Amino acid sequence: MEKIAVFPIPNCVAFPGNTMPLHVFEPRYRQMVDFCIQHEMPLGVCHVEKVLQKAKPEQTVAEALSSNQATYKPVPILTAGKVDIIETFQDGRLLIEISLDQRFQLVEQVQMLPFFIYNANRYDDIMLSQELIDKAEIAKGKVLHRLQALAAQAPDLSQLLASPEWQTKTPDQLSYELFQFIKLDSEIMQAILEEKTAEQRLISFLGVLNKITGRR
pLDDT category at 18 given cuts 50, 70, 90 is very high
pLDDT category at 215 given cuts 50, 70, 90 is low
Q: What is the mean pLDDT of residues 51-64?
A: 61
Instruction: Say whether both 92 and 136 belong to one domain.
Output: no
| 146, 158 Cβ separation under 8 angstroms | no
Mean pLDDT, rounded, of the chain:
89
Q: State residue 132's pLDDT score.
A: 83
Q: What is the mean pLDDT of residues 70-86?
A: 94
Domain boundary among 70, 87, 122: 122
Instruction: Say whether both 137 and 209 belong to one domain.
Output: yes
| 126, 12 Cβ separation under 8 angstroms | no
CA distances from 92 to 10, 20, 62, 157, 200 (A): 23, 20, 11, 36, 43
Q: What angle do CA 199, 203, 206 make, to 5 degrees?
A: 140
Instruction: Say whether both 64 and 140 belong to one domain.
Output: no
pLDDT tens-place string over residues 118-152? 999 999 999 878 888 899 999 999 998 888 888 77
Domain boundary among 122, 157, 189: 122
